[in-house]
Amino acid sequence: MALPPPSPLRSWSATLFFKRRGSSLLAFGLLAVSVSYGHATPPSPSSASAPLEARKGEIEALLDLTDDLNRGRSSHSELVMKVKTARYEREMTIEAWSEGAERSLLRILSPKRDAGVATLKVGDEAWNYLPKIDRTLKISASAMGGAWMGSHLTNDDLIKGSRMRRDYTWALMSRPTDSGEGRYQIELTPKPDVPVVWGRLTLYISADKRPERVEYWNERGRLQRVMSFHDYRELDGRAVPMRMRVTPKNKEGELTELIYTTLDFNVSLPPRTFSLQSLKR
């Protein structure tokens, strides 16, 4: 059975179809080994208490720290994604590679029915490879809002990789005392022209500068979801969370967890790791 030659098909115009269905088909993205913050927005409500004075450099360093939490110059990792919804619980194992913020590749290892499905991100573009039909599909703009593999992460979360420092204005709401009590609380409001869906983010960072959680609020000031970081471990001279959890606030009891089983930074990756050819392997 000769298959048609697979190519990064523009003709596979998934866009129309997604629009028609309004669903999150192929909602698939890059499990870039980082936390990223997404999407489009009106201005956020101002918060009640007044911001504290803060040094610009100090806060911006915290934002970069959070953005680059699981990202090195390069990385190679294996992780388990656990998804719990009202209907089912399932687990997936994933192998991932990344280089800076711009390139990443991930491939599903199990379960069997999804094994070999791979996603490549280079810059602003992303492709999925589906082994059973031997085709590579570009992820269209309209598919970005969809859930990734039935999880509570969206394609946007995984692909876009907006930067807090670049895309948001911040205000420090509280900080730890000199004796190490309390934590940093930073409010982030998207800058006017940045396409993000959230109205506001609230970032909590411990006194020893470990990000604890990020709250995502919509433009009407309602909490939408929480991403939290757990199981910190010293790796490559810094603290890295080995477990991340996303909890949607409108769905009782549902959550998605990402748990690193291995994580190596600054590995040497063969050339062309992030190419359409390597997607298929």
Q: Which residues bind other proteins (CB under 8 A)?
A: 1, 3-4, 9, 11-14, 16-17, 20-21, 23-28, 83, 87-88, 90, 113-114, 117, 128, 130-135, 137, 147, 149-151
Provide, rounded to whole angstroms, the least separation between the CB of residue 250 and other proteins: 16
Closer CB to other proteins, 131 or 176, in the complex: 131
Tokens in use for 251?
């769905």
Element (H, E) at 280: helix 276-280
Question: Given the structure tokens 């730890």, which residue do they identify?
Answer: 176
Provide, rounded to whole angstroms, the least separation between the CB of residue 243 and other proteins: 21
Q: Using DSSP, how many helices (H) and how many strands (E) does the chain show?
A: 5, 14
- Euclidean distance between CA atoms 83 and 89, whole angstroms: 6
Best CA proximity match to 230, nearest among 82, 58, 89 = 82
Provide, rounded to whole angstroms, the least separation between the CB of residue 102 and other proteins: 25
Closer CB to other proteins, 41 or 256, in the complex: 256
Closer CB to other proteins, 135 or 200, in the complex: 135
Provide, rounded to whole angstroms, the least separation between the CB of residue 140 and other proteins: 11
Tokens in use for 48?
């009640």
CA atoms within a 13 Å half-sphere pointing along the CA-CB vector of 75: 30
Residue type, 126: A
Closer CB to other proteins, 99 or 157, in the complex: 157
Closer CB to other proteins, 55 or 113, in the complex: 113
Provide, rounded to whole angstroms, the least separation between the CB of residue 280 and other proteins: 14
Provide, rounded to whole angstroms, the least separation between the CB of residue 23 and other proteins: 7
Closer CB to other proteins, 135 or 210, in the complex: 135
Closer CB to other proteins, 96 or 203, in the complex: 96
Antiparallel, parallel or unpaired: β 255-265 and 74-84: antiparallel
- Euclidean distance between CA atoms 255 and 249, whole angstroms: 9
Contacts of 51 (CB under 8 A, 6+ apart): 171, 172, 173, 187
Provide, rounded to whole angstroms, the least separation between the CB of residue 206 and other proteins: 33
Element (H, E) at 79: strand 74-84
Element (H, E) at 255: strand 255-265
